[in-house]
Chain A
Amino acid sequence: MTRAASPSLTAGRATIPARTLRTDRWWQAPLITAVLLTLWVAYATVRVFTQRAYFVERYHYLSPFTSPCVTASCPSAARDLGTWLPHFPPFLPFGVLFLPFLLGFRVTCYYYRRAYYRAFWQSPPACAVAEPHGKYSGETRFPLIIQNLHRYFFGAAVLLSLVNTWDAIRAFQGKTGGIGLGLGTLIMVANVVLLWAYTVSCHSCRHIVGGRLRSFSRHPIRYRAWTFVSKLNAKHMQLAWTTLATLLITDGYIALVSAGVFGDLRIYN
C-alpha cells in the first residue's frame, strides 16, 4: 500500500445506496433493548409514584426503590437512618431523593450508553447500519458531555449500595423477633450481591482502583484490585441486565407480600 502525504477528505466513496447490506437480523438486538428498557422504566415509574406496598414491617423487607426511607411519610420502622425530612405531599415520591443518583449512575454507565445510543438514538442502530441523523457531535457538547461525570454517580452508587446492604441485613428479621430467614431475605441478599458486582465492575471504578496508574509494579495492591475489577468489568453488560431484573424481582416480591397477595415463604422463624 502506498503512503499518502496528506489525508484524502473528499468523499469519492463507493456508490451503494442501501442503508446497509447486512442480511442478518441486525434490528433485533436494538429492538429487544428498547422494549426491555422501556418496560423497566415504566414499571419503576409506576412503583415509585404509587408509593404503595414497598415495606413489609414484619420481616423488615424494604424495597430498593424506596430505600433509604428518610421522610416522615415512611413507616417509622422503615426509617433506620432517621427522619431527615417532614411528610412529603402524596404526589411527591420518597424516591425522588435518591433515585436520581441511581438513575444517573445507570444513564452515564458506559454499557447503558452503548445500549441506548443504539436502541433509542439509533446512533448507530447496529454496526455498519447507517444512522438517520444528518449531524453528529457525540459526547463533545452539552448535554452529553455530562457523561464524563460518571465517576461521581459511581460514588453515589457505592453509598446507596451500602444502604441496600444494610437493608439486606435487616431482612434477616424473624417474625417473632430475633433472626429469621425467608425467601424475601434470600432475594434481597442476592439482589445486593449482584448490585455490588455491577457497581464494582464499573469502568470508572476500574480506573479509580488502578487504571489511571502508569506503573502497576510500584503499586502491587492496586494492581491486584485492578485485576479483580477488570475481570468483573468483562461481565459489566451481563451484570447491568441481571441487576435490572433482580431490582424488579426484589421490588415485585416485596410488593406482593406487602399487599397480602401471598405470604413470605419462611425457611426459619
Chain B
Amino acid sequence: MAQGHFRVWRGNAEGGDLVDYDVEVNEGEVVLDVIHRLQATQAGDLAVRWNCKAGKCGSCSAEINGRPRLMCMTRMSVFAPGETVTVTPMRTFPVMKDLVTDVSYNYAKAQEVPAFAPPPGLAPGEYRMAQEDVARSQEFRKCIECFLCQNVCHVIRDHEENKQAYSGPRFLMRIAELDMHPLDSLDRKRSAQDDHGLGYCNITKCCTEVCPEGIKITDNGLIPLKERVVDRKFDPLGVLKQKLTRR
C-alpha cells in the first residue's frame, strides 16, 4: 500500500479548479480504482462516469496527465513513484460536473449519418458477403464510442466553431465503414466532404494515437475515405469517368 498524489478537476460549467488529494494506491490498480477510493473516502460528491471497468463500455474517458485515456485502462504502474497524477474531464465537450462531460454532440452527429442501406429487394437474412469484403469494415466495428478520438481532434478541441461543420473522426470512420460495405447502396463520398467536413481533417493521427481499441482510424478509415472523395470531387479524370459512366 502506498500514497498517491492526485490532482482532480472539480467543478461544473460555471467554473472549477484542480484540487489536490493524497489517496491510497495498491498494487495492480488502475486510475479508476483510485478515483473510486477518493470518492469513497474523501470526496463523496465527486462525479465520475463509469460502467464496465474493462475498457469495453467507453464511459470513463478522461484526460490523465493531459493525455486522453480511459481511466479503467490506465494502470497506476505506468506512473513514476511519487508522480502527481492529474485527472481532468475531456476538454472538447461541455462539462456537467467534475469528470463528467456532456457528449451529446456525438449523438447528434451520429444521427446525421444515414444508416446502412441494403440494395432494394434484398431483405435481412438474404445478405451474402465474402469475408474479404467485410474485413475492412470489421476493424471499425471494434469502436466502443469512448469519444476519445473526438475529444483529441484539434479541429473541434481547439476550435469550438467547427463543431457545426465537422463530425469528427469517429463518425467519418463510420461513413468510411459504410462506404466500404459491399452491400451498402448509398454513395456517401460527397456527403463526407460537404456535410461531415472531411476536408477539415489534416490527418495528424491523434485519433489513432488515443484509440483504446487500437483502430487505425486515420490510415484505414479517414485516408481511404479522403481518396474516395478525391475520386468524386477533385480528380478531373475521376470526375470525367463518373460523368461518362453516370455513376
Query: What's the Cα separation between A133 and B161 when bound, in Å?
Result: 13
Stretch at the interface among A186-194, A208-216, A245-253: A208-216
**Residue B234 interfacial (CB < 8 Å):** yes
Residues facing B in A229-243 (CB within 8 A) are: 233-234
- A35 to B108 CA separation, bound complex (whole angstroms): 42
Nearest CB in chain B to that of A135: its residue: B159
Whether A124 is near chain B, meaning CB under 8 Å from some CB there, is yes
Contact of A7 with B104 in the complex, beta carbons under 8 Å: yes
Within the complex, the shortest CB–CB distance from A216 to chain B, in Å, comes to 4
In the complex, whether A131 has a CB less than 8 A from a CB of chain B is yes
Indicate if the CB atoms of A149 and B93 lie closer than 8 Å.
Answer: no
CB-CB under 8 A from B190, the residues of chain A are none
**Measured between C-beta atoms, what is the minimum distance from B130 to chain A in Å?**
4
Contacts of A135 on B, CB cut-off 8 Å?
159, 161
- Bound complex: CA A151 to CA B227 (Å): 9
* Nearest A-chain residue to B69, judged by Cβ: A128
Inter-chain contact A22/B67, CB cutoff 8 Å: yes
In the complex, whether B36 has a CB less than 8 A from a CB of chain A is no
Which B residues from 146 to 202 make CB contacts under 8 A with A? 152, 154-155, 157-164, 179-182, 184, 197, 199-202
Chain A interface residue bracket vs B: 35 or more
- The answer to whether A14 and B88 have CB atoms under 8 Å apart is yes
Looking at the complex, which one of A3, A117, A144 makes contact with B204 (CB distance below 8 Å)? A117
Q: Contact: B159 with A13, CB < 8 Å?
A: no
Chain A residue contacts of B109, Cβ below 8 A: 7
Partner of B228, one of A12, A207, A223: A207
Contact between chains at B92 and A139 (CB < 8 Å): no
Give the CA-CA distance A23 to B64 in the complex, in Å.
10
Q: Of B154, B157, B228, B235, which is in contact with the most chain A CB atoms at under 10 Å from its CB?
A: B154
Collect the chain A residues with CB atoms within 8 Å of residue B65's CB. 21-24
Q: Mark B134-155, 1 if CB is under 8 A from A, else 0.
A: 0000000000000000001011
- In whole Å, how far is A202's beta carbon from the nearest beta carbon of chain B? 10
How many A-B contacts are there with CB distance less than 8 Å? 183
A252 CB → nearest B CB, Å: 31
Q: For the complex formed, measure the closest distance between the CB of B66 and the CB atoms of chain A, giving whole angstroms.
A: 3
* Residues of chain A contacted by B86 (CB below 8 angstroms): 21, 23
Contact of A114 among B63, B161, B205 (CB under 8 A): B205
**Inside 8 A of B33's CB, which chain A residues have their CB?**
none
Q: Are B152 and A127 touching (Cβ within 8 A)?
A: yes
Q: Is A63 close to B, CB under 8 A? A: no
Residues of B within 8 A of A206 (CB): 224
A21 near B94: Cβ-Cβ < 8 Å:
no
Closest to B151 in A: A128
- Tell me if A137 is interfacial: C-beta within 8 Å of chain B: yes
Q: B116 to nearest A CB, angstroms?
A: 13
Take A113-B203, A127-B209, A139-B199 as given contacts and tell me if A3 and B107 are in contact as well, using a CB distance cutoff of 8 Å. yes
Within 8 A of A (CB), among B210-247: 210, 219, 223-224, 226-231, 233-235
Contact A139 B202 (CB under 8 A): yes
| Interface residue A123 (Cβ < 8 Å from any Cβ of B) | yes
- Which chain A positions have C-beta within 8 A of B91? 13-14, 16, 128
Q: How far is the CA of A7 from the CA of B181 in the complex (A)?
A: 28
Question: Given contacts A7-B105, A13-B91, A137-B200, is CB(A215)–CB(B182) below 8 Å?
Answer: yes
**Of A14, A128, A214, which is in contact with the most chain B CB atoms at under 10 Å from its CB?**
A14
Inter-chain CA distance A124–B13, complex, in Å, is 26
Min CB–CB distance A131 → chain B (angstroms) = 5
Q: Does A164 contact B (CB under 8 A)?
A: no
Distance in angstroms between the alpha carbons of A128 and B83 in the assembled complex: 20
Contact B152 A203 (CB under 8 A): no
- Can you report 10 residue pairs joining A to B where beta carbons are below 8 Å apart? A3-B107, A7-B105, A7-B109, A8-B104, A127-B209, A145-B199, A149-B234, A215-B130, A215-B133, A217-B133
**5 closest A-B pairs (Cβ-Cβ)?**
A4-B104, A21-B66, A22-B66, A12-B94, A7-B108
